[in-house]
A and B are shown apart, each in its own frame.
Chain A
């Protein structure tokens, strides 16, 4: 299967849903060719609003549209959606529980060459601390497509995280995405790898590496970071050790969310794979994944270290 970026799936899903759900309107901040909202804009020009390079106003306008029954998809790069406009998202969208979907593309370090200013590795942490916010980080194009539909049908604010870099295909059309549900992609008993977003593909590869060394790893995909699926995390904890993997700062993201559940419900040894609380740099996405220790090999190594501890 060819690799596809989740942002591509976002643009296509939006254009399809626009036909079906007439209340959908799309806003962008001068990045429609990159966020792929241009696909929707071409099809439904009257329901597309380019707000220019002004993300705070983008979020506030989306909030106003939502009070009038529209379902706005406010799109821009993750660092600007979650970072620059954080307070507008908090006060104008989440506090009044308005039905705004924030579609954040170019998340993570795999934005690559643009460097640290454009690599959003804090957005999951920021967004999941806001009450009423649902946070979804799809693993591949199929899941991204289904997540866009689920977000449109969900009442209330949703943060959707998409990547720029093409990723492995994990799911086919038979998959049924559900907000708040994690999925066990591979059963196992020695160690569990819980991954999100573009790291799910790496997690599956890590399980293969581990299998070659006689370690039977469970692999879990968690695309809804909030509300998080406690049940699947506790099942994973049954393996006795957990590695989390995310293209995000290890502080505040999936690893933290999983650790919170484990600490309260079933203390389990855990190792978090992610950006080690540092800024990124310019470079080829695949090289960056290696430099920042976000590869299948890094996950497998962490799993073996944990096993050694047990």
Chain B
């Protein structure tokens, strides 16, 4: 896809804004998951600011496209995107993980406008996405369902139960992303419990598979178009990403999976962004 320079700049600027929010909100909360939030920021930005048919004024609009963050610990990225999109005031971001706050540590659809599914316990998002896609087919609606999984998350058996069902029911209104940053809490996924090669496994279950650079907006949007045009099977977009992307001292460092930056580190990160 050849995005106009203007559009590309707009998306790049928005992704940078999302990353700044992630750093600020996790620093303020004193906990959270910056690494995996930063790795999927470009994908979420591309979806919410160029793909999804949604209306922040009507979060429950029945014709809307659905998005499920199956790797729910990347909630800061999704919260930042929803706030920038206008679902709720940006001030809420700084109350992340605090008592009584709208923004829970992991997504709670009952508490936050714009969330289509409650997630956080890994492996459960694709099943819910299947349910939404099945309902869409049953009701002959043209909305599409998007779900983002972590690469480490694909170690969960339920993911493959769901992958089997998506293909079995020919859910071509469903697009999954795998945020393939290669790291999980205990180390590189290839060392902890390798799900590699993720692409081959989805393919074996009957999915259409697309490989992209998850930080390249042209590639992300082109893959989404290809998925829309793929009939009779679901599509998975395996996006190569960098954990901690955009913050040099966090990039590819396992430790930044679930650790918040200190105030000083946050300042350093914001300078780099």
By a beta-carbon cutoff of 8 Å, the part of chain A in contact with chain B is 25, 46-47, 49, 51-52, 54, 56-57, 59-70, 72, 87-88, 91-92, 95-97
Contact = CB atoms under 8 A, between A and B. Distances in A.
Interface string B87-112: 00000000000000000000011100
A91 B107 CA distance: 11
Given A67-B128, A95-B108, A97-B110, 18 more contacts: A51-B165, A56-B127, A56-B157, A63-B117, A64-B117, A64-B130, A64-B133, A65-B132, A65-B134, A68-B62, A69-B135, A87-B121, A88-B124, A88-B127, A88-B158, A92-B124, A95-B110, A96-B110
What band does the interface of chain B fall in when counting residues whose beta carbon is under 8 Å from A? 20 to 34
B132 A64 contact: yes
Interface of B: 62, 66, 108-110, 116-118, 120-121, 123-124, 126-136, 138-139, 157-158, 161-162, 164-165, 168-169
B229 to A, nearest CB: 24
Given A51-B165, A95-B108, A96-B109, A67 B127 contact: no
Contacts of B134: 49, 61, 64-65
B158 to A, nearest CB: 4
- The prevalent SS among residues of A at the interface is helix
- The prevalent SS among residues of B at the interface is helix
Contacts, number: 106
A70 B138 CA distance: 10
Contact of A54 (B120, B121, B135, B161): B161
Contact of A67 (B108, B132, B157, B169): B132
A92 B129 CA distance: 12
B118 A96 contact: yes
B135 A65 contact: yes
Instruction: Give 7 closest A-B pairs by Cβ, nearest first.
Output: A64-B131, A60-B127, A68-B135, A57-B161, A54-B161, A64-B128, A96-B118
A49 B139 CA distance: 15
A60 B135 contact: no
